[in-house]
Amino acid sequence: MEKLDNLYREIIMEHYKNPRNKGLIDDPSYVTVHIKNPSCGDDITVQSKFVNGIVKDCRHDGHGCSICCSSASVMTETVIDKTTEEANKIADNYLLMVTNKSFDETIDLEEAAVYSGVRQFPARVKCASIAWQAFVETLKKGA
């Protein structure tokens, strides 16, 4: 069961049960992106607020499996207060990591690094990616 234990790490479960920055805000200064994975029903909305090149706030809401929902929470904590450039780098690197491609290990993924276990579950890569992809879209739209 080593692989599964490696997937359902404590940090992941902690964020799943107590998600941070959850719930959307009705505020036009936020950039909103909604992504759905029709094959499994994961459904995530991410809202980012960018001020002077800084990710001032990031929020999420939606539903899906533990990997999907927890990674949305971890993502918001990771990117808030980073410059948009730093946040973008982390997101790109994270997405390379979970898809098992070569990535820059010198970039600190912080808590998001615990999702490396997903690489052993190719069917779950999408679950771990969807919130980060939505964040990258908010960057493209609004930063």
Partner 1 sequence: MEKNLYRSDFPQFQDKTFVYLDSAASALKPQSVIDSVNHYYHDLSVNIHRGIYDEAYEATRLYEETREMVASFINASPEEIVFTRGATSALNLVALSYGMNLTSEDEIITSELEHHSSVLPWQAVANKTKAKLVYIPLDSEGRITVEAFKSVLTKKTKIVAITYVSNVMGYISPLDEIIPLAHQFGARVVVDAAQAAPHLKIDVKRLDVDFLAFSGHKMLGPTGVGVLFGKQELLNSMEPIELGGEMNEEVGKFQSVWKDAPYKFEAGTMPIASIIGLAKAIEYLKNVNLEEIENHTKRIRNYAYQQLKKIDGIVIYNPTSDSSIIAFNIKNVHPHDAASYFAEKKVALRAGHHCAQLIIKWLQIEACLRASFYLYNTFEDADQLVQTAKAAVKFFRSVGFEG
Spell out the long-range contacts of 85-89 with Cβ–Cβ below 8 A and sequence spacing 24 or more.
85/53, 87/55, 87/135, 87/139, 88/136, 88/139, 88/143
123-135 as b/e, with b when 16 or more CB fall inside 10 Å? ebbbbbbbbbbbb
| Of 61, 51, 44, the residue nearest 81 (C-alpha) | 51
Using the minimum distance from each CB to partner 1, give the nearer residue, 79 or 128: 128
In the complex, minimum distance from the CB of residue 124 to partner 1, in angstroms, rounded to a whole number: 6
Closest to partner 1 by CB, 5 or 26: 5
Instruction: Considering the complex, state which of residue 42 and residue 57 has its C-beta at the smaller distance from partner 1.
Output: 42
- Min dist CB 1 to partner 1, Å, is 7
Which DSSP symbol is given to 24?
Answer: -
Residue 3 beta carbon to partner 1: minimum distance, rounded to whole angstroms: 6
Can you give the binding site for partner 1, defined by CB under 8 A? 1, 3-5, 7-8, 10, 13-14, 16-17, 39-42, 63-68, 121, 123-124, 127
CB nearer to partner 1: give 40 or 113. 40
Q: What residue has token string 């809401």?
A: 61
